[in-house]
Structure 1
């Protein structure tokens, strides 16, 4: 079971988590827990690290440490008063370590990727201690483990590390012996290299941690506890009558997560899929709700479209040039350059004339992408590079779309009726996902139009 930041955000939230775990533990289940940092803490750690690096005057390191101690100490006192002295001593030691690394960054005026990973891992280092202490306070034996202690081995790609295959045997040997007699609480989002250097797993990396651990210990199920009732047909903040899906396939869940559905991390599906483990998405604040199941094959539905999602904070790049037509090596030059600059490409579309290639990249990667393409421009492979930041990518997802004629026509006809202009279209050969790009001002309206067009608010 993985509990996200909102699920462990304060003493009341952690109290709910303990009640949930106690219910399933006393029923005879073997439980392994992965936790995120308390809500907002990782963002605060990112912010203080950046502030310290760029500070001209004395940065507020002491103020930050005091606030972290106060917040976590207050929650610990509320959920585990009998454990307070012992656990608070460990929290203080870790906060001193955090103070030391922040002071070093201040002195050097340099924040390396390795230092940043070490700093932002402290949210989980503190929250796991508190959850584990709260379980012991409730009479459930528990031990907190960091990612290294749990056996999560990664490469050295700081900020978005990949978990290595040998992790499975490490995790099994370290976690399985603890099950049954206790509930291990593992710090999500973090792992370490073979040399013991701390790494982090990227956005929503605690989901990835949970999936890796669940697959390694051959769990019967992997449960993701969050603050919504399950995987939904659309973002409920945009679509008021968005519906919880009782089940989605692994492929559908992966497509939805890649395109902005934040319930699951994209990489959290693959380890479960490889082992055929059911992933269940549940709401910590409404534990009685059935939630959603992610399975190999979802139940038949008369609707071919399952859900609609969109992702903002992306940029459209258009690459043009008559010299691209029929010239071997152009695509290789473009994508090799982007790869060397570590640009993640989210969508690709190429016209049949070969004179145009369109890409979607995250806003954070735009500058690097333009720098990479400028190198290609100098070599004469392309003629012009343009970009537009005021766009969103919309994805229409459903395994039923495969082999169902007319879906693309229905999508684009509905959008045309509403006067929504398409800037780019992309469809994979799997036919599980049709994606397109529209102006940012039209993004939410496009989602509403298609949600209504395919009747996604209606029960089966």
Structure 2
């Protein structure tokens, strides 16, 4: 049970509301239980939830679970009113602006101060040497610019300063609208000001040396999560929950076999050791609710390169393992995982539970679920993942857990409760005999796909043909979603995230091997379900449905895992195809179709 305690004194470490005249202070603060047998629950909140539903996070998501769990909170950087105004995007924009070419100037821009402007002040006229130009070449491979020998100062760049000011104002506005206690608010405002000034100084320094290393970019992005966690910790305290901000920017120890200055692959042992360190760190929080940054500091090479922008989910998973949590909750703005995108398919249903393999397939083919590597970290420790809606905290959400836990009968000793999936639903009876028809789990669409068709001009060397194709793909960094091959012909479907120029370079390389055609604006339609390997005729039903709907198929592929069937269609038919397949293969209705072996309900 959560433990109510007397209100402690104010410190940035505890962020606890004080007893000051005029402040809104609850009589008691609620803390994590002191009972060692109380299980841990790790809750991860995305940037949109932090940006729009901070109060719901405090009052519903966290407070609603403190009675039965010890809660740890992990936050992403706060999102803005639009994607472009998201904190992470603004931080990346500021980093890019810091390396923008500058123009020589002797004038100081009003309102912007440069810490090095005095050091590079113009030489007095009586001592001016000849203005022999020298070349200054950027580490970012930009064109060299001419700089006078007399060290004429470069005008301070106001663009990144304006971006930092926007980050600052967004967080201050959010703080003032969410925090009621004035002492807490002033304390939080001071933290936001210090973080933004630290960011500004860091970018000024990067501008001087004209370089931002991958590790420096990691640190810049980490500032967003630090401010988000301070905001949420303050809102929790303001709503009566004793919370503590925990920064993990220096959590990775100096292991003898790990050199953070060099890029090296991180094996599972690294993540296992990191999980243990995370668990030990949070144990130091005592009864306070820890609010933890998803950014966990320097790793070999770069955190963004090693993991990507989904590292917050990974940290939450590693934290759940380190705490031996009973569950990892990923909070979004939807009720869970649906049989199709409910924004495009009105009849889509919530899936009560799903296996990690199914969730991984849905993630690969367009649905934003959880990254497969993140799922692996917790599932291998028998910790289930639950997708929940921050706007509907009372909802059950969708549970991601192994198939044996889904299919097994309830057991009081099982760490994962037995649940029911849509694929196990029993549909109807025939002559008193119940017919159990297995359904696919979900259908998803991935748009913005380009199809590349290559026909070899040297039919006798097919093995070399394929090897060279994969070499070109590796060099160009194009990740292929689907591939179909014959001895002399290859068709590939991929999402081109690198732009038209990069695609044109790849096509030019492929043209050395043979004839190349490119079809743009396509979409991948995928039907996913772990029972599909046993569903006789499901592929025929899928493709006949598309044919009846006059949806042309460009490519067909069945996943090696046998739990998904995918095809490539025209992007203009994506929504229509999604609804057709959902109605035909996933809809629970009363239409009777004739199949071999007797009538079935669809």
> TM-score with structure 2 length normalisation?
0.68
Which residue number in structure 2 is paired with residue 284 of structure 1? 390
Question: Do 2:45 and 2:330's aligned partners in 1 also have CA atoms closer than 8 Å?
Answer: yes
For residues 95-120 of structure 1, what are the alpha-carbon distances to aligned partners after superposition, in whole Å with 9 as ceiling and x for unaligned? 12322344455566666544444333
Contact 1:244–1:292 (8 Å) recurs in 2: yes
Q: Post-superposition shift, 1:256?
A: 0.6
Select which of 196, 200, 214 maps to 2:320: 214
Deviation at 1:434, TM superposition (A): 0.7
Could you tell me how far 1:6 is from its partner in structure 2?
1.8
For 1:115-126, list aligned pairs within 5 A: 115-126=216-227
Shift of 1:427: 0.9
1:172 matches 2:276:
yes
Out of 401, 423, 426, the position equivalent to 2:554 is 423
Question: What displacement does 1:23 show?
Answer: 2.5
Distance 1:307-1:383 versus aligned 2 partners, 3 A rule: same
- The more displaced of 211-220 and 106-115 is 106-115
Cα distance, 1:33 vs structure 2: 1.4
- Using the size of structure 1 for normalisation, the TM-score is 0.87
After superposition, where does 1:223-238 map in structure 2 within 5 Å? 223-238=329-344
Match of 1:41 among 87, 90, 106: 87
- For residue 290 of structure 1, give the secondary structure of its aligned residue in structure 2: coil
| Native 8 Å contact 2:523 2:570 kept in 1 | yes
Give the RMSD, CA atoms, in angstroms: 3.2
> Cα distance 1:330–1:214, how it changes in 2: closer, same or farther (>3 A)?
farther
Q: In the superposition, relative to structure 1, how do residues 270 and 138 fare at CA in structure 2: closer, same or farther (>3 Å)?
A: same
Contact 2:525 2:574 in 1 (8 A): yes
CA distance in 2, matches of 1:175, 1:343: 38
Question: 1:306 aligned to 2:346?
Answer: no
For each residue in 1:244-287, what CA deviation from the matched residue of structure 2 results, as whole angstroms up to 9, or x when unmatched? 11111111111111111113334332212222211111100011
Superimposed CA distance per residue, residues 202-256 of structure 1 (whole angstroms, 9 cap, x where no aligned partner): 3444223222322333221110111000101111111122111111111111111
SS across alignment from 1:339: helix
Aligned residues: 451
User: SS state of the match for residue 572, structure 2?
Assistant: helix
**Of 374, 377, 391, the match for 1:271:** 377
CA distance in 1, matches of 2:401, 2:468: 39
| Residue 61 (structure 1) aligned with residue 194 (structure 2) | no
Report the structure, 1 or 2, having the larger helix content.
1
Residue of structure 1 aligned with 2:249, choices 125, 148, 169: 148
* 1:316-371 C-alpha deviation (Å, 9 max, x unpaired): 222221425553333233223322333322222213xx221122222114654654
- CA separation in 2, counterparts of 1:389 and 1:105? 40
Residue 424 of structure 1 deviates from its aligned partner by 1.2
Which consecutive residues of structure 2, in runs of 5 or more, have no partner in the other structure?
1-42, 80-85, 104-156, 407-419, 426-436, 591-601
1:362 maps to what in 2? Answer: 495
Bigger shift: 31-40 or 170-179? Answer: 170-179
Cα distance, 1:303 vs structure 2: 3.9
In 2, distance between residues paired with 1:249 and 1:319? Answer: 36
What is residue 8 of structure 1 aligned with on the other side? Answer: 50
* Bigger mean CA deviation after superposition, 244-253 or 87-96: 87-96
Paired residues of 2:332 and 2:389 also in contact (CA < 8 A): yes
After TM superposition, the structure 1 stretch with the greater mean CA deviation from structure 2, 300-309 or 274-283, is 300-309
Distance 2:314 2:504 in 1: 30
Cα-to-partner distance string for 1:55-92 (whole Å, 9 max, x where unaligned)? 67744223222222222123334336433333333322
- Residue deviations 1:29-74 (CA, integer Å, cap 9, x gap): 1222111111222233334444554567744223222222222123
C-alpha offsets along residues 125-178 of structure 1, whole Å, 9 cap, x if unaligned? 2101111222233443333334434549999899xx978632332332343414
State how far apart, in whole Å, the 2-side matches of 1:59 and 1:284 are: 38
Q: In the alignment, is the contact (CA less than 8 A) between 2:439 and 2:586 conserved in 1?
A: no
Checking the alignment, whether the CA contact within 8 Å between 1:426 and 1:436 is kept in structure 2 is yes
Structure 1 residues 408-419: aligned runs within 5 Å: 408-419=539-550
Q: How far apart, CA to CA, are the structure 2 residues paired with 1:407 and 1:191?
A: 47
Partner of 1:437: 568
Structure 2 distance, partners of 1:44, 1:163, is 32
2:399 to 282, 290, 293: 293
1:407 paired residue among 516, 538, 548: 538
Match of 2:169 among 70, 73, 84: 70
CA contact (8 A) 2:446 2:525 kept: yes
Q: Distance in 1 between matches of 2:440 and 2:479?
A: 27
What CA distance in whole angstroms lies between the structure 2 residues aligned with 1:457 and 1:101?
58
Partner of 1:341: 476
Residues 370/53 of structure 1: CA separation in 2 closer, same or farther (3 Å cut): same
Distance 2:308 2:498 in 1: 15
Residue pair 1:337, 1:375 contacting (<8 A) in 2 also: yes
The equivalent of 1:128 in structure 2 is 229
Bigger Rg, which one: 2
Change (3 A) 1:60 1:163: farther
Relative to structure 1, is the Cα distance of residues 222 and 439 closer, same or farther in structure 2, using a 3 angstrom cutoff? same
Asked if the contact 1:193–1:199 (Cα under 8 Å) also holds between the matched residues in 2, the reply is: no
Q: 1:437 to 1:86 in 2, by over 3 A?
A: same
Give the match for residue 452 of structure 2: 317
Q: Give the alignment partner of residue 66 of structure 2, picking from 23, 26, 29.
A: 26
- The structural deviation recorded for 1:24 is 4.4
